[in-house]
């Protein structure tokens, strides 16, 4: 009940999505991956505390995603992954 009241007061799911998008931008997640990133965050933070299997699977997917991004960056330090992280500067 309390969680529902908080969601109503602050705009509910829209606020959560905006916060996740801000965080994803800070981490250098490309816009094309934002929906997937949002899904992971929802599964970890909203579903995971009640369903450990769902939260655990989403955590493994996030870790694999960032592991791949790190490997891409290490292979090509000036490539598109590095530009995404630095904002293209």
Count CB neighbours of 54 within 10 A.
16
HSE of 48 in the Cβ direction (CA atoms, 13 Å)?
A: 13
Q: Each residue of 20-50: b (16+ CB within 10 Å) or e?
A: bbeebeeebbeeeeeeebbebbbbbeeebee
Series of mean pLDDT values for 10-residue runs along the chain (89 residues): 46 71 88 91 90 96 94 83 50
Q: pTM surpassing 0.95?
A: no
State residue 89's pLDDT score. Answer: 42
State residue 2's pLDDT score. Answer: 43
Task: Tabulate helix, strand, coil % of the chain (nearest 5).
Answer: 80, 0, 20
């Amino acid at each position: 009940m309390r969680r529902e009241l908080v969601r109503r007061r602050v705009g509910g799911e829209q606020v959560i999505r905006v916060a996740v998008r801000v965080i994803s931008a800070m981490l250098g997640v490309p816009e094309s991956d934002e929906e997937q990133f949002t899904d992971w965050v929802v599964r970890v933070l909203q579903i995971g505390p009640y369903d450990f299997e769902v939260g655990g699977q989403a955590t493994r997917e996030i870790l694999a995603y960032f592991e791949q991004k790190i490997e891409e960056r290490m292979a090509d330090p000036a490539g598109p992954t590095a530009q995404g992280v630095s904002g293209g500067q």
